[in-house]
Amino acid sequence: MIKAVTFDLWNTVLCERDYGNHRIGLLTQTLNEEGFRRDRHRVEVEYSSTIDFFFEVWMKERRHMPAAKLTDFILKRLDVHLSAKVKKGLVKGFEEAIFNDPPPLTEDVEKVLKSLHNRYRIGLISNSGVTPGKNLRKVLKQQSVLRYFQCTVFSDEVGYHKPHHTIFRRAVKKLQVRADEVIHIGDFPESDIVGAKAMGMKAVWLNKDERRCQPSEFTPDYEIASLSELLKILKE
């Protein structure tokens, strides 16, 4: 019997947006203000290389890399040493870039959450990247959907990204259910489906673009093209 539903965040609850340009601009401006003349192209190259490196770490080790560590890495590549105060402000700017252009809700998500919240325990399991969970919760609150979630679990607070078992286990524990009483929905098979199935949860792949799922030892229990189809699955 399903007692809880957990959601991925990006492209499942919130539409994903790239804040790289904003962060690159902020970094370039900060360096110039501190007397380090680095043209935007070089800053962009080093920023992109750092993001690629951190993605490799995520793929191999599933460890979360906080914005402070990412900032240190970029500054080292740029051969720049900033004061602790300036660096702290830069990290804060990276983490708060999302507030300059907050992501909108995905189609039907508010309707689905409203329909489920009196019948199931609802959780959120998200890889948080450069934007920490505390700021993502603020965005969800601004969008008036945070109230539907009994728990929100983010990788920066757990230390590991999906599909690592730790982040899924944390959500199951907070929801006070067994893993086999949870159904998880997300758009990224390599993290959402693999992680959920490894925990013994049911898994729904939200495949809006009709992509082909790569062969895996874990396949989704269900595949849907729109979030509203989840209601039908749960009813059945």
Q: What is the pLDDT of residue 216?
A: 63
- Domain final position from 100, 126, 151: 100
pLDDT greater than 60 at residue 215:
no
Q: What is the pLDDT of residue 54?
A: 83
Residue with the larger pLDDT of the pair 142 and 64: 142
Q: What is the pLDDT of residue 61?
A: 82
Here the CATH number for the domain that contains residue 205 is: 3.40.50.1000
pLDDT greater than 80 at residue 204:
yes
Q: Which domain holds residue 230?
A: 4-16+103-235
pLDDT greater than 70 at residue 187:
yes
**Average pLDDT of 184-211?**
92
Same-domain status, 94 and 201: no
C-alpha to C-alpha distance for 136 and 139, rounded to whole angstroms: 5
| Strand extents, DSSP E, 167-225 | 182-186, 202-206, 222-224
For the segment 155-171, what is each residue's pLDDT rounded down to a tens digit? 999 999 999 999 999 99
C-alpha to C-alpha distance for 201 and 42, rounded to whole angstroms: 45
For the segment 24-46, what is each residue's pLDDT rounded down to a tens digit? 999 999 999 999 999 999 999 99
Same-domain status, 117 and 221: yes
Q: Which of 174, 166, 190, 109 is nearest to 182 (CA)?
A: 174
Same-domain status, 74 and 190: no
- Domain final position from 78, 100, 122: 100
Residue 79 CA neighbour count, 13 Å, CB half: 3
- Domain final position from 57, 80, 100: 100
Q: Domains in the chain: how many in total? A: 2
Same-domain status, 111 and 219: yes
C-alpha to C-alpha distance for 97 and 101, rounded to whole angstroms: 8
Same-domain status, 164 and 127: yes
For the segment 111-138, what is each residue's pLDDT rounded down to a tens digit? 999 999 999 999 999 999 899 999 999 9
Q: What is the pLDDT of residue 229?
A: 96
Same-domain status, 176 and 227: yes
Same-domain status, 140 and 217: yes
